[in-house]
Amino acid sequence: MADFEGNKSAASGYLRRFLDQVTGHYLSGEMRVPPGAETFSNVAPSDNSSLGQVVAGTAADVNAACEAARDAFPAWRDMPGNERKKLLHHFADLVVERAEEIALVESMDCGQPIRFMQQAAQRGAANFRFFADKAPEARNGLALHQEQHTNYTIRSPLGPVAVITPWNTPFMLATWKIAPALAAGCTVVHKPAELSPLSAMLLAEISHAAGIPAGVWNTVNGFGEVAGKALTEHPAIKAVALVGESATGSHIMRQGADTLKRVHFELGGKNPVIVFDDAHFERALDAVVFMIYSLNGQRCTSSSRLLVQSGIRDRFLAALEQRVKALRVGHPLDPATEVGPLVHSGHFEKVMSYMDIARRDGATVAVGGTRRQDLGPGNFVSPTLFTQADNSMRVAREEIFGPVLTAISFATEEEALHMANDTEYGLSAYIWTGDTGRALRMANQVEAGMIWVNSENNRNLPSPFGGAKMSGIGRDGGDYSFDFYMETKNVCIAHDTHKVPVLGR
């Protein structure tokens, strides 16, 4: 990746077309801007300047996308898995070819530092390659033998599915959802978040260039209240996969109830990182800083609650304060930047409101808590650390979704377990200890869908990814994704040796 000035120059070139023309939809294999369509302004988090106008999709637009997906489904479903595999690998190749463009557009659109976004294309391509390789076996099931019968299972794709993705790391999360749907044989209607829609249009372009048939991949821009609602209520859509807020998941469940849609939700979290006295001090410190301040704290799996044992509390918090103060806040295209601007001014105001909430509840703002006015009119917040907190405070219970960490002290393993589970969320948790037995006990008892022991968030594509409680329904990854996007059928064949019950003879 180039230096700061080089990045700005290249990004300006890639973004020019979005300024020069309205960003519409991708329907039935072509880009469309409906005549007379209403639009909204897409803004850059770094200075709140316009990145261009985007079509606010209507129910009619959504209907066109859903009908296209419905019409394209039979041929895509019936295409041999090896053929889908070739197309999806070709898609991944084209993603890698456009890696610089994807990274720079994504960084400017959502405010994530380029140091994290420069791997977005590679991660997205890896998602497609992983599921492409599984496409030929997607229909495979199990053989289940009985003494007088043999059962076997087969899987078939559900049909058209809706994929609704968030604004924080939109490119990677879109590929994470769409790749298994296509590999399974489903067609897709994708609605990206209105706050960062640009990389979704790059994906749609790449799908066209890769030769994915018209109607198999459709993208509709717009707001959740209109386009999202129409999509989740549409009778052609058989399932909805969402990454977003817990409240949005509740709305979608209601909206899809009349048509009994299958749902998969990856939702919010207030994830604990539990650091015991016997943890490897420096490694735990590195992981704590990384898992809340990377990606601007705008990640569902961020460890936003630090539970630190009393024996190392003072030393750990002192070291943590110095690290947080040293974090480099700046423009997202600057390679030196570690924390960039928040995605939108409205979200910035929400995050900033927690500074006063923390003080009113009795916590100490040990570091940060202010707007970085020296960086101009963008949505820059100083990385923040709350100390002297307890688990009853709002800053310990509510998802702030920014570079804000709440530190709480505990004395015993039992107390740490109680604090970790005393939340409505259950997406992930991180445990740092040198005691293997304790690690196993805590991993078994912490109420979360994913546990990392002595590690930051580590990605393993075959492993299940998802949350418990208010953090989600269902699992992504490997065959878990196919379980969602496919219907399982059992076939029972008799050996002609069992006695058939007789009535009326």
Each residue of 426-457: b (16+ CB within 10 Å) or e? bbbbbbbbeeeebbeebeeebbbbbbbbeebb
Instruction: With CA atoms as reference, report the closest residue to 380 among 425, 444, 337.
Output: 337
Instruction: With CA atoms as reference, report the closest residue to 235 among 217, 256, 265, 264.
Output: 256
Residue with tokens 């120059």: 9
Pick the catalytic residue: 110, 300, 338, 456?
300
Pick the catalytic residue: 67, 106, 233, 266?
266
Per the annotation, the verdict on 266 as an active-site residue is yes
Contact between residue 268 and residue 470 where contact means Cβ atoms under 8 Å apart: yes
Q: Can you read off the two tokens belonging to residue 9?
A: 């120059």
Per the annotation, the verdict on 110 as an active-site residue is no
- C-alpha 341/C-alpha 43 separation (Å) is 12
What is the full DSSP assignment across 432-478?
A: E-S-HHHHHHHHHHS--SEEEESSS----TTS-B--EETTEES-BSH
What separation in angstroms does the CA of 6 have from each of 2, 28, 155? 5, 37, 49
- C-alpha 133/C-alpha 138 separation (Å) is 10
- C-alpha 239/C-alpha 252 separation (Å) is 11
Residue with tokens 């006063």: 356
Rounded (5°) CA angle 480-256-171: 55
* Residues assigned a catalytic role: 266, 300
